[in-house]
Structure 1
Amino acid sequence: MEFRRLPFPLSRSTRRSAAFSATLGAALAAAFPCHADSEALTLDSVVVTGSRVEHSSFDLPAAVDSVDARTILESGPRVNASEALSGVPGINVANRQNYAQDLQISSRGFGARSAFGVRGIRLVADGIPASMPDGQGQAASFNLDRAERIEVMRGPMSAIYGNSAGGVVQLFTRDGQGTPGVDGRFSAGSYGSWKADLSSDGQVGPVGYVIDASRFATEGYREHSAAERDQTMVKLNWSPTRDGKLTFVASTFRQKADDPLGLDWNAYRQAPASATANALSYNTRKTIEQTQGGINYTHRFGEQLIELTAYTGSRSVRQYQAIPAGVQANPRHSGGVIDFDRDYAGASARWSGRFPLAGGQMTTSLGLEFERSEDDRRGYENFSGTTLGVLGNLRRKETDTVSSFAQYAQAEWQRGDLSLSAGLRHNRVAFVVKDEYITGVANGDDSGNVTYERTTPLVSALYRLSPAVNLYASFAKGFETPTLNELFYSGSGGSFNFGLAPSDSKHAEIGVKAYVGSDTRVDLAAFHIGTRNELVVDGATGGRTSYRNAGGTTRRGLELAVDSRWAGNFSSRLAYGWLDARYDQDFATRIYDPVSGTTQPTTVNSGSRLPGVAAHNLFAELVWRDPASGFYAGVEGVARAKVYVEDSNRLQAAPGYAIANLRAGIERRFGAMKLGAFARLDNVFDRQYVGSVIVGDTNGRFYESAPGRNWLAGVSLGYRF
């Protein structure tokens, strides 16, 4: 894993943060002017996330981290991205212990309010978006078994990815090359969890290949949280010419998961592993089936490159919610069962070239991107007669189409120790709803359409203060449209609200990246983000959430880490993030009243903190490796400050916590055979804590419990023919 960041004393303002960054950079340059040697620089992985042209992360004017294959392998069973991303500052990936709702991922506060899935962050796997055109994504479809790396970007440069790109998370599968081989891995652990994975990779003639299939099952930490997941993937790479490369990727994903829903405070304190009563009576659950494939071709013409990508896929979902039968009596209600079949596709084209200009080098990129999804969506009652949790009468039928068309241009000029970058992107996102279930005046016609357009600029500069120290600054505008799910239930009577406005944001960031000697890297970023028309939760009940626009917000913070190698085969990592995210204006909302058990109107005061966001996050790790024996052992510490659960900050916040984890393993080669064994013990001291929250739940069921002490162990076997 590439080097990260460490908690220095926090500044009181963005101006003081800037001065601190510059002072630190100058001090490092003076103290360590000549230590960025070749050995140290090999620790800097290549990233492509930011400018869409390969850079070392050290020379990219952005807060970006690359999590390597070894880190992914040692972080857990490779089921959830939260396992591998815990050491990335500025991004919080919470495992809900609820596979029906996916992970909760937030980057500098973007995405924290998501009741399910991922929104506000752009997800991409092997060049194929795991985020739909409306900004909603699913990290569960990431196949971690053959991942070469995961790149994580925060800050202004994310804006080049358009709608809902408050951050970017990209997964890359390694190319097939070398002698063909097979690998198998089996792991088992607490709560009846197990995973089996079988893969093969290598090169046959001119074609490289990677094939993987896995099955995961768990009874779940909480009651009514069992899940089963099957995944397959194929990647083929072929170079028809010396300068051309063709890549094909395809994958399938199938999952069945029970949904325990959230808990109120008393239930969490007394029985953290329990499920909500309605989850049991309505048998809340979700099934997903997804198939997708894509093709990419790149060709170099000297200093120029053309890249073409196309993909298509289908996704089917059926989800049983805990909507009470009486609530569904409203003729405008769409039922307690969500059922849809989605077809999606996209294509992109990019040209880049490098030219001499004004005594320096200019690298320019031009690109087009088109994405489209179409849902055949139905809603049913979640009861039949007196039987709950079964498919009942049809209450909704419609076709929902979302399309996105974007054009972007980006240029970077480098001369000597100075690099200047600028970019411009235009996005048009169109929503069209065709209501095919109209039973009368009371039911109404929810057909309609809305289009959002934005042009977002990006500028940045990087100065090489010395071979070991880089200073940078960047600024960009971004925007976040409502997703289909946010439009669905936000109108009167639970209908569509085509009047929701997108949230616009302005991002500013300054930072320093430095090598201290040949064995330590320090990265520091300070940022300030202002938004207007922030999308906030208006109400959440029974698995259904509605949204509205509020006023503006201000987010400022620091991300700092240190990664070091020590004598005796030790290495360490410290990653810290501080985020102060607050509302700028008063606005009216509704919150749960624990006394009456109902929702009551209230005012959110200016200065209130954004819910779902912790002010402080810390990760620390110390690892020992013995190259001779292949043995490793490590200890991890994870700490998080309290998290507010609703906008007014008046109700019980999820308390802060600190936990410790242990891991150990060994990997040995015997000729063509490779054997391995590994084990993890998480939450060593058996702390009770809230792993994630459901923001704004109008039943007061905000809290999703994390497991106590739990273990995982496994073996692996590989053979090269």
Structure 2
Amino acid sequence: MSTNLFAQTTITISDGNSGESIPGVLVKIQGQENKVSDNNGKVIINLDKSSILVFSHVAFETLSMQVAPESDVEVSMQPSTNALSEVVVSGFESERPLVHQAGAISKVLENELYRFNENSILSAFNTKPGIRIEQRAPASYRVSIRGSSLRSPFGVRNVKVYWNDIPFTFPDGTTDLNILDLANIQNTEIIKGPAGSIFGAGNGGVFSFESKKKITENYFSSDIGVGDFGLLRYRIGVDQKLEKGSVSASYVRQTSEGFREHSAVDRKVFQLALNSDISDKQSLSAQVLYSDLDYQIPGALTTAQLEEDRRQARPGSVEQNSSIAQKTVFGTLNHRIELGTKWENNTALYLNSKEFENPFILDYKRETALSYGGRTKFVLEDTWGNFPVRLLLGGEYQYGNTTAQNFGNRNGQADTVRFSDDLVTTQAFLFQQLEIEWTSKLLMTLGFSENFSRYDINRAIDAGPNEPSENQRRFDPILIPRIALVYKVNERSGIHGSISSGFSPPTIAEVRTNEGSINLDLEAERGINYEAGYRSQLGIFNLDFTAFYFKLDQTITTFTNEQGVVLFRNAGATDQKGLEVSIDYAPYRSQGSLIEEVKLSHAFTGHYFTFADFERAGNDFSGNQLTGVSPNTLVNLLDIRSKIGFYLNFTHQYVDEIPLNDANTVFQEAYNLVGSRVGWRNTLGSRWDVEVYGGVDNLLDETYSLGNDLNAFANRFYQPAPGRNFYGGLKVGMRY
């Protein structure tokens, strides 16, 4: 007969900033029942051996540490509103605190995604300076980083997107951001401005999404959300620890009738993830994402139609069943290995298949696409002489093949084929980056990439006056440099500056347009960005300030022909000057009081963009404001958290007037959006997590458009957004 001998261990948990004890901390102990800290922040547990314990609390960062038996342990937890000096970001493939990063980088944490209605990622990202996500219709996104949406009448272009280190942007430069749900995203980093030295084409910047990777416990969760306009969203998820890794799965479905006529949405997303620690030096992860998306397109309205009934669809949209149906399968494989003591390699591969169907007022489009590619990088951490260095070498390759057919649209059904093309896109680049710490305070980064791109448009059928043809466009290899400096004033503040080059070739969707023309003369955009900034933690204040000047040549803009088809052209040059400022602070924090924390955040964007040289059809638009860009945006956030689990989130956003055409004769009026979410979340016992919430969007019932049509044909500029609307939901999680 054997007896397990346990030794009693006392753990005291406190706030790392104030030193006050933290009650209600969930302590997860492998092989035992979970514990919760008492009112004095103490937990007493029995251990028979040294074990890894996980400490979690809704207001603090989750912490893991090894605890020995028969000991007294002091645990210090950091509030989830971390100082800039404590927020580590990858940025330009450099793991450093944000305060010492050389570049304009924003981070959107998981808790920020869930302070709004959970039907969209839009609201959380629009709280960050320099970033704007528009929604022309439910599930129809348009992304702008520093005004980069000028050439995007719809969809996501001129911005590079990654998901779990995998290129999520297609080889042709477009991104189906709308196939992702909040459940597929945990944290996000956004680089603002050209990042071609590391990430290739795209003058706007980079979105890097990361889904949940590290599983620390077996967990089942489910939630349901409802709202006005028939909104229903439900999710089921399960996380399972394995001996040397974990597996997780989630399924989400979201449906809505929509605010406007003919604006219904039905989206189903399934994700399966496997993570395995092969050894201390190797790890392997795989993901499968399946998305089935179906949404209607109500279309843009004129001023008269807007005043008559802002909920109506554009005439013809219902009869022609203007909509998009898309099924996507995305498979990924990531491998990390340490090569000795100084080198490390990360390699990621993906395979993507898509079926796309788009009846529109003017035509009917069907596409079947297959793409694959990958990214690999080698990292060396070493010392050359007396200087610590970090060397990065890598490459990225993408190949895409799309069979695209355009038909006539007869009452929502595909009619006679107009033209059919086989589209092949190849994009690749090599990148190198060297970081040198010249002194303990001065860090220099020097990066280059060599970019190659080509597309082939092989027309098999053309019912128009043109003969079937083979068209090819190859862009000459382009060298993209970047140099950046960071001066560490101290551990809590830093000054950064950079000069970076960027380029963005036209996408196939811009070269091959819906009426059948092929514009091989469209040139790539080229630009140089000059940037300087300051970040610091000043007592309770976190400050992030950036000023930039971006000079862009061969700017691609949109116009419409007499049939209303959107076409593209190079429009000379643009001057883009801007300021981006964010500040957050917690003026009140008292652990254990009824109100434990009050936090305020402010974000200002000043984008003063103009056409430097732009003439068209005898009209000189030089000096005009850049179309689609608001010069001033201000966001104010208030978050209040209580001891018993109640919380209040309040959001105000001011958006200045937006020019809707190149001539600056039509503007979207300035507007103020106000919203709020209240709820209660808590841990019941050691197994159950519960949250109940409700909220309101557009509390002031503003009349505005969140995603206007630019340079619109027949003055159909406006895509009306919902008025005042309400939502709510319930979340339940169980450890097993």
Normalised to the residue count of structure 2, the TM-score between the two structures is 0.85
Query: In the alignment, what sits opposite 1:16?
Result: none
Asked if the contact 1:62/1:156 (under 8 Å) is kept, the reply is: no
Structure 2 residue 669 is the aligned partner of structure 1 residue 641: no
| Alignment partner of 1:46 is 2:69 | no
Question: Where do residues 353-372 of structure 1 align in structure 2 (5 Å cutoff)?
Answer: 353-372=380-399
The answer to which of 173-182 and 408-417 deviates more is 173-182
2:85/2:98 contact within 8 Å kept: no
Could you tell me how far 1:176 is from its partner in structure 2?
4.0
* Distance in 1 between residues matched to 2:491 and 2:576, nearest whole Å: 32
Where 2:715 maps in the other structure, the secondary structure is coil
Q: Secondary structure of 1:506's match? A: strand
Tell me what 1:663 maps to: 677
Q: Which residue identity is paired with 1:234?
A: L
What SS class does the counterpart of residue 160 from structure 1 fall into? helix
What is the match of residue 368 of structure 2?
341
Equivalences for residues 279-678 of structure 1 within 5 A: 279-300=317-338, 301-323=340-362, 336-383=363-410, 388-414=411-437, 415-438=439-462, 442-452=465-475, 453-489=477-513, 494-517=516-539, 519-539=540-560, 544-568=565-589, 569-588=597-616, 601=617, 603-626=619-642, 628-650=643-665, 652-671=666-685, 672-678=687-693
Q: 1:178 to 1:489 in 2, by over 3 A?
A: closer
Equivalent in 274, 295, 311 of residue 257 of structure 1: 295
Aligned to 2:12: none
Residue from 702, 708, 712 that aligns with 2:717: 702
Distance in 2 (alpha carbons) for counterparts of 1:43 and 1:711: 37
CA distance in 2, matches of 1:225, 1:165: 32
State the 1:510 CA deviation: 0.1
Q: Write 1 or 2 for the structure with the bigger share of strand.
A: 2
> Partner amino acid for 2:518?
F
Shift of 1:618: 1.2
Q: Residue 61 of structure 1 aligns with which residue?
A: 102
Higher gyration radius (CA):
2
CA change 1:156–1:395 in 2 (3 A) is closer
Aligned-partner Cα distance in 1 for 2:632–2:647: 29
Which 4+ residue blocks in structure 1 deviate beyond 3 angstroms? 37-44, 156-159, 540-544
In 1, Cα distance between equivalents of 2:656 and 2:313: 25
2:489 aligns to what SS in structure 1? strand
Structure 1 residues 544 and 204: CA distance shift in structure 2, 3 A: farther
> How big is the alpha-carbon RMSD for the aligned residues of Structure 1 and Structure 2?
1.8
Q: Distance in 1 between matches of 2:562 and 2:227?
A: 33
In the alignment, is residue 679 of structure 1 matched against residue 706 of structure 2? no
Output the CA distance in 2 between the equivalents of 1:233 and 1:321. 30
Give the unaligned 5+ runs of structure 2.
Answer: 1-76, 590-596
Report if the CA contact (8 A) 1:176-1:201 is conserved: no
SS state at 2:494 partner: strand
CA shift, 1:146, in A, is 4.6
Distance 1:570 1:542, change over 3 A: farther
TM-score by length of 1: 0.87
One-letter amino acid matched to 1:685: L
Q: Is the 8 A contact 1:400 1:434 kept in 2?
A: yes
Q: Tell me, what secondary structure is at the counterpart of 1:699?
A: helix
SS at match of 2:659: coil
SS of aligned partner of 2:510: helix
Cα gap change, 1:636 to 1:433, in 2 (>3 Å) = same
Are 1:252 and 1:290, in contact at CA under 8 Å, matched by a contact in 2? yes
In 1: Cα distance, 2:142 partner to 2:562 partner: 18
- How much does 1:68 deviate? 0.9
C-alpha deviation, 1:58, in angstroms: 1.5
Farther off after superposition, 601-610 or 145-154: 601-610
SS in 2 for 1:84: helix
The letter of the residue matching 2:353 is S
**Matches of 1:93 and 1:259, distance apart in 2:** 18
Give 1:547 deviation, angstroms: 0.2
Say if 2:127 is the partner of 1:83: no
Q: Indicate yes or no: 2:266 matched with 1:228.
A: yes
Deviations 1:68-104 (A, max 9, x none): 1111122221x322122021100111122343xx211
Q: Which runs of 5+ in 1 are unaligned?
A: 1-36, 324-335, 589-600
Q: Percent identity?
A: 20
Aligned to 1:204: 242
- The amino acid that maps onto 2:360 is Q
8 A contact 1:438–1:444 mirrored in 2: yes
State how far apart, in whole Å, the 2-side matches of 1:143 and 1:406 are.
30
Give the distance between the partners of 1:256 and 1:279, measured in 2 at CA.
Answer: 15
Q: Is the 8 A contact 1:51 1:410 kept in 2?
A: no
1-structure distance, mates of 2:433, 2:603:
31
Deviation per residue, 1:271-310 (Å, 9 max, x gap): 2111111212212111010001010101123222111111
* Greater RCO, 1 or 2 (C-alpha within 8 Å, sep 6+): 1
- Give how far 1:41 is off: 4.5
From the superposition, tell whether residues 246 and 165 of structure 1 become closer, same or farther in structure 2 (CA, over 3 Å).
Answer: farther
| Aligned-partner SS, 1:703 | coil
Q: Report the equivalent of 1:20.
A: none
Q: Is the 8 A contact 2:85 2:537 kept in 1?
A: no
